[in-house]
């Protein structure tokens, strides 16, 4: 009996041990960590360098082929209109010399002077070390050959009508690295010119006498101002030569509807014109359509630069006031 009891106890103990093992929860397996997928930031593409437009060769209004070796850094302007173009394109800081008559914009007045229209001080010009000299047609005969002999890069910039003014601006923009600025300026000027053309289209053209001086020098076909008169919707009484001198009888006989005094800054006025022998019979005098230009208005109308559109708009309003009300 004793052996039976011991055997029974042993079997019971083993059973309890086995039961304890079987009831123990199975261990939770530890997951193997998955390494993160590496991310790569792509390198920015290597920018393609913009090819330099220099050296470039251009043909100027005089028919000369000129090579611009590099972007100009020091520019001398030999005409007020050219100076105005340079400043309008944002090149004022590169202008190192101008003429005595370059008075616009006001900052241009502070630049070193190299002479007047045709009396250029070559020695002074050389002292400014320009890498580009911009000249007008008045310099072609004498000044330009001197500049060429000295090895200076010189380009003629000249215009005899409004479309040529736009071409001048584009030319200056191209050779100075300001093509985009030139295109923007030209587009705005063309828009304003088109607006004037539309406003005066189909209207009766008043006859115009444009007086440059009291001895009756005027402007005719082929002159810059003549183009303004025509585009503003007027008919110029002066014919033939770009700058003819009319007689007293010729003006009276033409009987202009409007007289524009570009010599007003020099003393001529509506009052002095009315006192001229026989001029009291002229329609412009009888109706009081005598326009006294200020010096600024004379400059705008006589300089083939960006402000020419201001002159065009002003003259168009003088000739056709009803079209702009």
For residue 155, report the phi and psi dihedrals to the nearest 5 degrees: -125, 135
Of the candidates 168, 210, 158, the residue with the CA atom closest to the CA atom of residue 189: 168
Same domain, 172 and 251: no
Task: Please tell me the total count of domains within the chain.
Answer: 2
pLDDT single digits (tens) 81-98: 999 999 999 999 999 999
Of the candidates 75, 93, 79, the residue with the CA atom closest to the CA atom of residue 165: 79
Task: Say if 34 falls within a structural domain.
Answer: no
C-alpha–C-alpha distance, residues 112 and 95, integer Å? 9
C-alpha–C-alpha distance, residues 166 and 65, integer Å? 20
Of 152, 186, 220, the position where a domain reaches its end is: 186
C-alpha–C-alpha distance, residues 207 and 283, integer Å? 10
Same domain, 176 and 64: yes
Beta strands in the chain, from DSSP E residues, in sequence order: 56-59, 65-68, 75-77, 95-97, 132-135, 154-156, 207-211, 235-236, 258-261, 290-292
Q: Counting every residue, how long is the chain? A: 325
Q: Does the structure show a pLDDT above 80 at 206?
A: yes
Q: Give the least confident one: 16-20, 88-92, 179-183, 188-192.
A: 16-20
Same domain, 240 and 267: yes
Same domain, 168 and 232: no
What is the reported pLDDT for 14? Answer: 41
Same domain, 213 and 146: no
Task: Say if 133 falls within a structural domain.
Answer: yes
Of 186, 212, 230, the position where a domain reaches its end is: 186
Task: Say if 42 falls within a structural domain.
Answer: no
What is the reported pLDDT for 12? Answer: 45
Q: Does the structure show a pLDDT above 60 at 23?
A: no
Task: Say if 32 falls within a structural domain.
Answer: no
Q: Give the least confident one: 37-46, 66-75, 274-283.
A: 37-46
Domain extent for 236:
202-324
pLDDT single digits (tens) 134-168: 999 999 999 999 999 999 999 999 999 999 999 99
Mean pLDDT rounded to a whole number for the chain: 90
Of 135, 161, 186, the position where a domain reaches its end is: 186
Q: Give the least confident one: 21-25, 152-156, 229-233, 298-302.
A: 21-25
C-alpha–C-alpha distance, residues 142 and 119, integer Å? 10
Same domain, 126 and 237: no
Same domain, 181 and 210: no
What is the reported pLDDT for 167? Answer: 98
Task: Say if 220 falls within a structural domain.
Answer: yes
Task: Say if 267 falls within a structural domain.
Answer: yes
Q: Does the structure show a pLDDT above 60 at 225?
A: yes
Say what the pTM is.
Answer: 0.84
What helix, strand, coil percent values describe the chain, rounded to 5?
Answer: 45, 15, 40
Same domain, 212 and 265: yes
What is the reported pLDDT for 17? Answer: 42
Token output for 260: 């524009």
Q: Does the structure show a pLDDT above 70 at 113?
A: yes
CATH number, domain of 60, equals 3.40.50.1980
Q: Are 117 and 97 in contact (CB under 8 A)?
A: no
Residue with tokens 């008045």: 138
What is the reported pLDDT for 41? Answer: 67
Same domain, 179 and 260: no
Same domain, 147 and 220: no
Same domain, 179 and 61: yes
The mean pLDDT of 236-260, rounded to a whole number, is 97
Task: Say if 210 falls within a structural domain.
Answer: yes
Task: Say if 46 falls within a structural domain.
Answer: no
Same domain, 130 and 248: no
């Amino acid at each position: 009996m004793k052996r039976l009891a011991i055997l029974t106890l042993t079997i019971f103990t083993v059973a309890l041990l086995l039961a304890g093992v079987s009831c123990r929860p199975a261990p939770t397996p530890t997951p193997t960590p998955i390494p993160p997928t590496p991310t790569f930031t792509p390198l920015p593409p290597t920018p393609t360098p913009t090819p330099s437009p220099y050296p470039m060769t251009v043909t100027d209004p005089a028919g000369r082929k000129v090579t611009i070796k590099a972007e100009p850094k020091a520019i001398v302007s030999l005409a007020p209109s050219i100076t105005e173009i340079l400043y309008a394109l944002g090149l004022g800081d590169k202008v190192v010399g101008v003429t005595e008559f370059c008075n616009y914009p006001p900052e241009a007045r502070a630049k070193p002077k190299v002479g007047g229209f045709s009396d250029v001080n070559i020695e002074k010009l050389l002292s400014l070390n320009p890498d580009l000299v911009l000249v007008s047609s008045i310099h072609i005969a004498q000044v330009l050959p001197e500049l060429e002999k000295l090895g200076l890069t010189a380009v003629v910039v000249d215009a005899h009508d409004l479309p040529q003014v736009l071409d001048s601006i584009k030319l200056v923009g191209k050779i100075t690295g300001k093509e985009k600025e030139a295109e923007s300026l030209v587009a705005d000027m063309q828009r304003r010119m088109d607006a004037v053309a539309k406003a005066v289209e189909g209207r009766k053209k008043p006859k115009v006498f444009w007086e440059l001086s009291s001895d009756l020098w005027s402007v005719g076909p082929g002159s810059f101002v003549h183009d303004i008169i025509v585009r503003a919707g007027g008919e110029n009484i002066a014919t033939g030569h770009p700058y003819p001198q009319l007689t007293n009888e010729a003006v009276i006989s033409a009987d202009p509807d409007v007289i524009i005094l570009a010599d007003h800054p020099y003393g001529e006025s509506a009052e002095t014109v009315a006192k001229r022998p026989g001029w009291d019979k002229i329609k412009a005098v009888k109706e009081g359509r005598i326009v006294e230009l200020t010096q600024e208005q004379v400059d705008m109308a006589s300089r083939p630069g960006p402000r020419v559109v201001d002159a065009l708009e002003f003259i168009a309003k003088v000739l056709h006031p009803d079209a702009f009300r």
